[in-house]
Structure 1
Amino acid sequence: MSKNFKRASTKTPVASARHGAEGSDRILLYFGWLTLFIYLATPAGLLVDIQTSYILKNQLHATATQISTFRLVTGIPVYIAFVFGLARDQWNPLGLRDRGFFLIFAPVTAVAFIWIAFSGFSYAGLVIGMLLAMLSSRFVAAAYQGLIALVGQEKRMSGRLSALCNVVSSVPVVAGAFASGYISDHLAAKETFILVATVTLLIAVLGLWKPVSVFGQLYDQPQARGADLVGNIRRLAKHKAVYPAVLICFLWNFAPGSATPLQFYLSNALHASDSVYSYYNGIFAAAFIPTFLLYGFLCKKIPLNKLLWWGTIVAVPQMIPLAFIHSANLALVLAAPIGLMGGIATAAYLDLAMRSCPPGLQGTLMMLVDGVLALSARAGDLLGSWIYNSSPTHGFTYCVIATTAVYTLILPLIPLAPKELIATTDGELQPGVEAEVLSEIREA
């Protein structure tokens, strides 16, 4: 008996570690493909936005105001994204939970794209078709966001999933920035919508896949349990971790100098071509990827609280180099270090959001963050445009100062996050947090 006991005690930890590593790899593989399809197929993505803007401008001869109005109206489902997250947390379509959302709403979104492709292009038709696609795709996004946060909490791998999500979602952004001209010249609008519809159907195909490493007893754990609608809303409001996470994400995306002011500064003040702004965004987005990968390594070694501080301190002066550019070429050179400065912060803030989800409300909080990111980007760009126009000579410099000041406001918010929530590394047990979850579930 003693010999058998010794043999078991020496082999079991190794086998357990190997099993855990294999399970983590399968989880990352599943979410890698899912993230890629989600971001390639989203109606809010560059691939669709490029084609719709060219259709409106070149075929329908829409004015700049009409194009802006089109984007504002079709973006309404994004602004109220938390509603779709709440629906995800309350509803169990086909008895399959998140997979049910993929199986129902991914095909509906694909049908909307196909209808746009074959209905003939008109302003009203594009608005209706895009609204339908945006509405149905928000249910898909809610299931995806809620699922990845729930797995991140239960498997204690929110940091690695944050790094993965950020890396994979950067690929369509980078590709779109560099390939926008080629797409508009070589891929007809009809073909683009058919292509996006095909990718959207691949999300439904993933809905048929139920890897045990992801879904095994996933919805039976305390983190997945909620209450009725009123109880869930009450719990969301009382959950202290929600507020610093949402506010930090709002401030991080509220960058008055990074969009329209930069575009106008490059084209008007530096006399750069329109393509330079697109290339700048491509280099900027690509430069995040190395630090996202670095975060995936660091999060297993360093507690989240330190990564939040380090990432934010590095990110605060991120935009300052832009105040000193005097040529388009220098802007493209600086795009890489500027992007590198923001990677750790971006991954850490998403990690914090995943950890901050109340039990059973992962979809609601993650979609609330999603909507806040969209609204803050629009609001920051609006403020930045006003600041830029306030001074013909120093307007862009004022935008850079405003962006730096906004980023600085993130620092006093970090201590507001619950200490036990951010005190651990990825994969480390959180006894205090888990006890609080059980207590909250009992109350619910």
Structure 2
Amino acid sequence: MGLQDDLERFREVGEQRREDLAEFIQYGDLGQSGKDDVRIPIKIVDLPEFEYDRRDQGGVGQGDADVGDPVGQPQPQPGDGDEEGEPGEESADHEYYEMDPEEFAEELDERLGLDLDPKGKRVIEEKEGPFTDLTRSGPDSTLDFERMFKEGLKRKLAMDFDEEFLREVLKIDGWGPDRTFEWARGENIPVSKAWIEDAYSEISDGERTTWSSLDELEETIDREPIQQKIRREGIKQVPFRREDERYRHPEIIEEREKNVVVFNIRDVSGSMRQKKRELVERVFTPLDWYLQGKYDNAEFVYIAHDAEAWEVERDEFFGIRSGGGTKISAAYELAADLAEEYPWSEWNRYVFAAGDSENSSNDTEQRVVPLMEQIPANLHAYVETQPSGNAINATHAEEVESHFGDADDVAVAYVASEDDVTDAIYEILSTEEEAEQ
């Protein structure tokens, strides 16, 4: 194995030693990643290399010292260190394993045991597929003759019968056309009364008493199955009907784009201190990456609120802090207005909200819950962040959970520390997965 092989092996080991995905989501530096790329730190493995020792000034035995003199510390040489400045003043580069949101979604599915398969909504193209559809009219060139022949053949099998045997039945002493017709109906023989009467008229008086009974006839002559008769005589005529005609028509295939809009709502009131904001970021950011990786086209809307609500950019969403009170319904009212730009018939929708569950009196029951019911969405989710335990008036999450119960389009998750983050993400995404089934 050569040096290049060693280097490649060390690089593979380095990638394998990147942080576990769950560990990264819970404790890693999410800020190093962007909207379209996820950068997971690699636990560094130093690559081997040759290095020239500048202290080596000659061969064996060269130098000013005598044999037996103690060896002192090597003197610093030019270039060995910084000439000016404090140690560690310059920053070092860190190694990262980079993945796009699609790979992130695949790995998160594997890590959490999910299998979400989003559905496309907006039709972006219609095209003709194989000629598998059938219509009752069309050009002669598209007539499905094979199908028409099969229908006619089935009719022939249903209408045909052993004429010779039926003529022999007419020769049973004392039967005549009426009794023969009744017997034929009982045997499901598709023969008309007129055919029997015509056949009987062709039989001479002496032949009309050939058989004393039906049993005698059946012991003497075997009835011939229709399939055997067709094999023997062939098919001279197939009774086609207009109703048998079908014309092949191309199947119209709709290609649908998987579109999604995600409404991220966050409480920015005075009670949402730094630790709570960080926990919201640790839940919402991976959810954004995940849904962006799952859908063809993903749009994200960020709404901040205290007692009022306003739309913000992604970069400022997690850092905002206000001194106002809290009215969660204001954010849902704004989300309902903005959702009109993304028709439910064309867009998948997710409405994710987070806060410390504090809300103004009766706002959850009287305004938030009705608004959640009025906004069509694949999933509504609320994430409660309470690092130090529930406050006395932090009841929003419990009220939402109590109202919707086990609804398959509403999820409630509780996050008290980083350890709860992946569980919260699983709770949200697994609820969506169950709704898709």
TM-score bracket, shorter-length normalisation? under 0.3
Higher relative contact order (CA 8 A, sep 6+): 1
Instruction: Give the helix-richer structure, 1 or 2.
Output: 1
Instruction: Give the strand-richer structure, 1 or 2.
Output: 2
